[in-house]
Amino acid sequence: MKRKNKFACALILVTLFAAASASAGMESGKSTGGKRISGIAAIVNDNIVTETEVEKAIRMLKGPALVGDSDARRDVINRLVDDMLFDQLVSAAKIEISDDDLARAIAGILQENRISLDQLRNELAGKGMTYDDYKASISKEIRRVKYVNQVIGPQVKITDQDLRDYYQKNQEQFRGTHSAHIAEIVLPLDEITSQAEFNSLRDLALSISSKGKKGGAFEQLAQKHSKGPNPEKGGDLGMIDLSTLPAEVSSTVRRMKIGDVSSPILSGNAIVVVKLISLPEISAADFDRLRDKIYEALYDAKIDETMASYLAKERQKAFIEIR
C-alpha cells in the first residue's frame, strides 16, 4: 500500500515550534561570530541554544505564564535539542528542495487558510517575523518531511496481521462513535436554592466520579445517588444513539474508552456522571472498509517510534550540555 505524502500536513501547520526556532535563530547558530548573544541554555555539538530562544519557544508552546517554570524550560530545551539533532540528520542526508517545492508549499498554505500573500505578510509582520524568515522555516519543514519520506518511511514495514493487531487494540479510535452503551448518574439541580447547596452537590458528583474512576461499583453508586433513568439498574441506558444526548454529554462519551467513568458534566439542570460500558461490535466488513485509515494511523505511529529511536541514537553520539 502506497503511503500518502505528508507534505500538506507539515506545511499547513508550519509549526509554531519552527516559527519559534526561526525567529530565535537570529541569535543562535554554529558560532557567535563575535557578536554578543543571550545566555547559553544548551550546547549541541557545535550549535548553541540561547536563553532567548528558550524563552520565545516557551511563550509560543506553553504560554507566557510558564516562562519561569523549570519543568516547561526543561521540556522546551529538550525539544530544541531534538530539533537541532533532526536538522543535523537532514543535513547529513543531503536532502535538497527546489524553488518549485517551496512555491507549491506556500501556495498550498495560502489556499488552505484562504488568505492572500499580502495577508500572510501582514500576519507575519504582526508576529515579528519577516517573510524571508518564514520561507526559511518552510524550507526546513519541507526538508524534514522529505527526510521522513525518503529515509524513515522505507524502513516501516506493515503486514496485514500488524493492521489487525493494531485495530484490535485501538478499536475505539476507528468506530466513528455514533452509538454507545452507557450508564449515567444524574444529580438534579432543581431543588438547589443556595451556593452552599450547589457546592455540596458538586462535591458529591466529584466524589462519585472519583470512586468510579478508581474502580468503585458504578451500579451501586447509581442505585444510591442517581435521580435519573433506571437507578435500580445502575443507571444503565443500554445502547443509545449519541445524537439523542445533550451535546456536552455526547462529546464527552466520544472521547472515552470502554470502562471509563467521566468527570462531572454540567448538563442542563443537572450534574451528570457517565460510564462507557461498550461500543457496537465491528464486523470484518468494517475492518476492510477502515483498512486505509488503520494503515495511516499505524504508519504514523511507527514513523514517530522510528524517529524517536533515531534521535535517541543521535543524542548518544552527540556532545550535549544543558545548562
57-80 residue pLDDT tens: 888 777 888 888 888 899 999 999
Task: Please state at what angle helix 284-317 crosses helix 70-92, rounded to 10 degrees.
Answer: 90
Tell me which fold the domain 176-278 belongs to.
Chitinase A; domain 3 (3.10.50)
Over range 253-261, report the average pLDDT: 89
Structure confidence at residue 10 (pLDDT)? 38
Give the integer Cα–Cα distance in Å for 115 and 126. Answer: 15
DSSP class of residue 261?
Answer: B
Is residue 128 pLDDT above 50, yes or no?
yes
Across residues 154-173, what is the average pLDDT? 85
Mean pLDDT of the chain: 84
Listed range (3-12, 191-200, 243-252, 314-323) with the worst mean pLDDT = 3-12
Judge whether residue 131 has pLDDT over 70: yes
Residue-level pLDDT at 177:
59
Tell me, what's the pLDDT at 29? 52
Per-residue confidence (pLDDT) for residue 275, from 0 to 100: 96
pLDDT at residue 184, as a whole number? 96
Q: Is the pLDDT of residue 229 over 90?
A: yes
Which of the residue ranges 113-122, 134-143, 173-182, 194-203 would you say has the lowest mean pLDDT? 173-182
Q: What span, in angstroms and rounded, lies between the C-alpha atoms of 175 and 279?
A: 8
Judged against a pLDDT cut of 50, whether residue 33 lies above it is answered with no
**pLDDT surpassing 50 at residue 34:** no
Is pLDDT above 70 for 269? yes
First to last CA, the chain: 46
SS3 (DSSP) at 112? helix
Segment 193-200 shows an average pLDDT of 92
CATH superfamily of 7-159+294-322: Porin chaperone SurA, peptide-binding domain (1.10.4030.10)
CA dist 294 and 289 (Å) reads 10
For residues 35 and 71, is the Cβ–Cβ distance under 8 A? no
Contact 200, 208 (CB under 8 A): no
What distance in Å separates the CA atoms of residue 301 and residue 269, rounded to the nearest whole number? Answer: 42
Domain spans of the chain, in order of start: 7-159+294-322, 176-278
Angle between helices 195-213 and 218-225 (to 10 degrees): 160
Kindly tell me if the per-residue pLDDT of 6 is higher than 70. Answer: no
**pTM of model > 0.75:** no
Whether 24 has a pLDDT exceeding 50, the answer reads no
Q: Evaluate if residue 235 carries a pLDDT over 90.
A: yes
Q: Is pLDDT above 70 for 54?
A: yes
